């Protein structure tokens, strides 16, 4: 049986600018985020902080989880 990519979101804690927050993402997005961090040689927290900084500058900022998904898909 082939594993399915469909799975409910998984909540994890990350630290942004010295404060902890939790983010719910599907496992496939956590895997993609981990791979991006490994490729860039930085912690996941650093990638999330960068995405957070970019998203809050948007005219209509999306939620952080949505911004992470968009960032991941746009770099693929």
β-bridge partners, 20: 15
Q: Give whole-number Cα distances, 26 to 41, 58, 60, in Å.
A: 23, 24, 24
In order of their start, the domains of the chain are: 10-75 (1.10.3990.20)
Q: Is the pLDDT of residue 35 over 90?
A: yes
What's the pLDDT tens digit per position in 48-71?
999 999 999 999 999 999 999 999
Residue 13 confidence class, pLDDT cut points 50, 70, 90: very high
b/e per residue, 27-58, with b = 16+ CB within 10 A? eebbebbeebbeeeeeebeebbbebbeebeee
- Tell me the whole-structure pTM to 2 decimals: 0.89
- Confidence class for position 17, pLDDT limits 50, 70, 90: confident
């Amino acid at each position: 049986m082939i594993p399915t990519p469909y799975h409910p979101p998984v909540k994890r804690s990350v630290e942004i600018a010295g404060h902890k927050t939790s983010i719910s993402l599907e496992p496939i997005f956590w895997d993609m985020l981990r791979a991006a961090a490994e490729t860039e040689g930085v912690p996941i927290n650093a990638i999330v902080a960068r995405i957070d900084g970019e998203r809050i500058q948007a005219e209509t900022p999306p939620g952080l989880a949505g911004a992470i998904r968009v960032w991941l898909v746009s770099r693929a």
